[in-house]
Amino acid sequence: MARRALGPALLAVVQAVDAALTPADARLLVACSGGADSLALAAAARHVAARRGLPCAAAVVDHGLQAGSDAVAARTAAVLAGLGLADVVVLRVAVPAAGGPEAAARDARYAALRAAAAGDPPATVLLGHTRDDQAETVLLGLARGSGTRSLAGMAVRGAGLLRPLLEVPRATTEQVCVELGLQPWSDPHNVDPRFARVRVRHRVLPVLEDALGPGVAQALARTARLARDDADLLDALAAEADPGLGAPTCDALAALPAALRGRVLRRWLAREGAGDVGADHVRAVEALVLAWRGQRGVDLPGGTVARSGGRLLWQAVGRG
């Protein structure tokens, strides 16, 4: 496709993909569900890869969670081949019953994509999350009250994954499909109100747009960028302040600013093997540092934190 042949929506997505790539991205693997976002991403990635001389493949993940999912995956693979992607693979995964279905499906999907991307050099996995997805993620993080890192939303790049469309609105990816004459697949889960993200998408964001005016999604995505910059800096400072292995001293912890102290405690607890540590857990451990009155230890997922001799001590469950 020559540049002059690109429609305005596809051109916008092509430019986003092109801007996100670096010389380290030697091979591309586009994750495609068959929805508008990932189809638009695949079309743009194929164009950019051809111009740059990069190998570009695509992967369709079949979670097996819905009747006929294999047929949807096969149809998506055929559409991708029609877009000019010669190397298309269907990855079938087993989603464990334990945990939330969204998180379990995501973990299984990412594991399969990373395995498919393995090689020398490994492929960069491109994901089709848009600005609207980022806005939804920020609102969900705000509702959890999980702090700056949660408000930071999804990273553009990390752990072999690249999200080049986080500044592109969903309406643009939908228009790409119109320009190319594609019929994107509509995942029934995307309209199922049992899922919090669906309620945010179809109920919360429209109310905010109606009450506050247009541009809410863009503002939330901008908030994510700013929050991520702040969170990255604080995490780097916390790594410098982290005393490393051993039992941390309460005096050293008390001397840290609150934003760093909480992060240092999280790093220490993760090293000791604590499970899913939330903000309330961290505050309870901080009380052992800042408001010590001889109180008993704090129970956390996987163990207990106690104070002894001016230090915090971790005792794992089942150890005496």
Q: Indicate whether 175 and 59 sit together in one domain.
A: yes
Domain with residue 60: its CATH number is: 3.40.50.620
The answer to whether 41 and 48 are in contact (CB under 8 A) is: no
Domain with residue 272: its CATH number is: 3.30.465
Q: Does residue 96 form part of some domain?
A: yes
- pLDDT value at residue 2: 42
Q: Does residue 209 form part of some domain?
A: no
The answer to whether 135 and 216 are in contact (CB under 8 A) is: yes
Q: What's the mean per-residue pLDDT of the chain? A: 91
d(CA 234, CA 253): 15
Q: What percent of the chain has pLDDT over 90?
A: 76
d(CA 272, CA 246): 9
Q: Indicate whether 187 and 64 sit together in one domain.
A: yes
How do residues 92-101 score in pLDDT, each as one tens digit? 888 876 666 7
Asked whether residue 55 carries a pLDDT value surpassing 60, the answer given is yes
Q: Indicate whether 24 and 124 sit together in one domain.
A: yes
Task: Calculate the alpha carbon distances from 234 to 60, 199, 222, 237, 241 in Å.
Answer: 37, 32, 19, 5, 10
Based on the structure, what is the number of domains in the chain? 2
pTM of this structure: 0.86
The answer to whether 43 and 83 are in contact (CB under 8 A) is: yes
> Which stretch of 25-34, 61-70, 108-117, 249-258 has the lowest confidence by average pLDDT?
61-70
Q: Indicate whether 116 and 256 sit together in one domain.
A: no
Which of the listed residues 148, 173, 191 is the one where a domain comes to its end? 191
Q: Which residues are annotated as a binding site?
A: 33-38
Q: Which helix (H) or strand (E) covers residue 40, if one does?
A: helix 36-52
Asked whether residue 210 carries a pLDDT value surpassing 80, the answer given is yes
How do residues 116-174 score in pLDDT, each as one tens digit? 999 999 999 999 999 999 999 999 988 887 788 889 999 999 989 999 999 999 999 99
Q: Indicate whether 180 and 303 sit together in one domain.
A: no
Q: Does residue 196 form part of some domain?
A: no
Q: List strands edge to edge, sheet with 298-300.
A: 298-300, 303-308, 311-316
How much is the average pLDDT of 207-214?
A: 92
- pLDDT value at residue 5: 77
Which of the listed residues 175, 191, 207 is the one where a domain comes to its end? 191
Q: Indicate whether 78 and 185 sit together in one domain.
A: yes
Backbone angles phi, psi at 160, to 5 degrees: 80, 5
Query: From the CA atom positions of the chain, what is the Rg in Å?
Result: 23
Beta bridge partners of 92: 62
- pLDDT value at residue 100: 67
Q: How big, in percent rounded to 5, are the helix, strand and coil portions of the chain?
A: 55, 10, 35
Q: Indicate whether 176 and 255 sit together in one domain.
A: no
- pLDDT value at residue 107: 87
d(CA 141, CA 159): 21
Give residue 311's domain range. Answer: 245-316
> Which stretch of 137-146, 213-222, 253-262, 279-288 has the lowest confidence by average pLDDT?
137-146
Q: Does residue 17 form part of some domain?
A: yes
Total Cβ atoms within 10 A of residue 215: 10
Q: Which residues are annotated as a binding site for ATP?
A: 33-38
The answer to whether 295 and 287 are in contact (CB under 8 A) is: yes
Beta bridge partners of 89: 59
Q: Does residue 99 form part of some domain?
A: yes
8-20 vs 36-52: helix axis angle to the nearest 10?
60
258-272 vs 279-290: helix axis angle to the nearest 10?
110
Asked whether residue 3 carries a pLDDT value surpassing 70, the answer given is no
Q: Does residue 198 form part of some domain?
A: no
Q: What percent of the chain has pLDDT over 70?
A: 96
Q: Indicate whether 103 and 182 sit together in one domain.
A: yes
